[in-house]
Amino acid sequence: MSVRPALLVLADGEVFEGEALGAEPAAGVATGEVVFNTVLTGYQEVISDPSYAGQIVTFTYPHIGNYGATPADDESRRPFVRGVVVRELARRRSSWRSNEDLDAFLRRHAVPGIGGLDTRRLTRHIRDAGAVPGAFGAVGAAADGSTVDEARLRAAAAAEPGTDGVDLVAQVTTAEPYAVGGERSSGRLHVVAYDYGIKTTILRKLGAIATVDVVPAATTAAEVLAREPDGVFLSNGPGDPTTVPYAVDAIRDLLGEVPVFGICLGHQLLATALGGRTEKLPFGHHGGNHPVRNVLTGHVEITSQNHSFAVVDGSAPTAEVTHVNLNDGVVEGIRSTEVPAFSVQHHPEAGPGPHDASYLFAQFADLMASA
């Protein structure tokens, strides 16, 4: 593989040298909000997670791609991530499960990347400065005949709006409803799941406890209730929860009608529907080893996380906090004090990550069965 020198330039002026990998970005330049993820494995699940729409993901683990890629690990129909940053991309895959190497996976899905970069320095910078817009590309002539250099990348980074105030959910949600988990049958629970960027592993978990109808993010409460669900699930998804007021309106109309369970963005939207507020974190939580205390049991759970926004503690008057992040005190779970509804900020489906919080799906099943 020929080496193509590349640069990553952040909107605050920081410059990082590397080499291009994956697909060539449109017009030679990729832009997005630069964040870091600390998982040791599960890079394919991260890249294919729709919650990364609008973002460039930096992997802090130094070797990425060691075990290749397989369709079995895809979390969505295609990646929505803007780009991938790695220290060293494995040149040889080593797993009987893999169908292709990671570079081929990125090329097939038109995902650009940059490797050979000092990800340790980049991560430390993001921790100090917060998530920041950036732009990267191979230096020299692009496929469209234009020229990519530091000045052009600097201008592109400055023009990138990031994820604040942008409805990214509309970019990732399904266009039409579809069913998961087989035919509906007497005695089997039935869940309607909102797709704000839902992951395949979540659908597997829900499919184990119920038949599932997945609906677009803009589906009204009346349309959901017409499907006669035993419960409604609010999925993960990308970006700023304040940009999807239509989702909050639907959730408000569903509360008290059916049990509701939310994860990640779904947690933030449920809290908003209960009167709460959200805020953007400096660099978010993106990793597979965040300690969370279950306030109700006192147990500490190691969790998988991927979010840039969080619920403001104490802002939802009719909800109580059930889980707290032990690293920084961020609200990790709530439940309504008036209706059957609860949510968590972390990812109990663990795709990738630990399975400490997987009991929450059984908890949702019990809530539906007793409603």
Q: Which residues are catalytically annotated? A: 264, 347, 349
Provide the token pair at 18: 């590397």
Shortest CA distance to 83 belongs to which of 152, 133, 14? Answer: 133
Question: Cα separation of 269 and 165, whole Å?
Answer: 15
Question: Within a 10 A sphere around the Cβ of 84, how many other Cβ atoms?
Answer: 28
CA angle in degrees (0–180, nearest 5) for 151-152-154 = 65
Give me the phi and psi of 93, to 5 degrees please: -85, 150
Q: What is residue 20's DSSP assignment? A: E
No. of helices (H) and no. of strands (E), the chain: 10, 21
Paired residues of 280 in beta bridges: 309
Question: Within a 10 A sphere around the Cβ of 339, how many other Cβ atoms?
Answer: 15
Paired residues of 263 in beta bridges: 344
In 270-318, where do the E strands start and end?
278-294, 300-311
Q: What is residue 28's DSSP assignment? A: G
Buried b / exposed e over 144-163, threshold 16 CB at 10 Å, is eeeebeeebbbebbeebebb
Provide the token pair at 288: 């597979």
Buried b / exposed e over 321-334, threshold 16 CB at 10 Å, is bbbbbeeeebbbbb
8 A C-beta contact, residue 85 and residue 118: no
- Pairing, β 319-325 against β 278-294: antiparallel
8 A C-beta contact, residue 95 and residue 84: no
Question: Cα separation of 108 and 71, whole Å?
Answer: 12
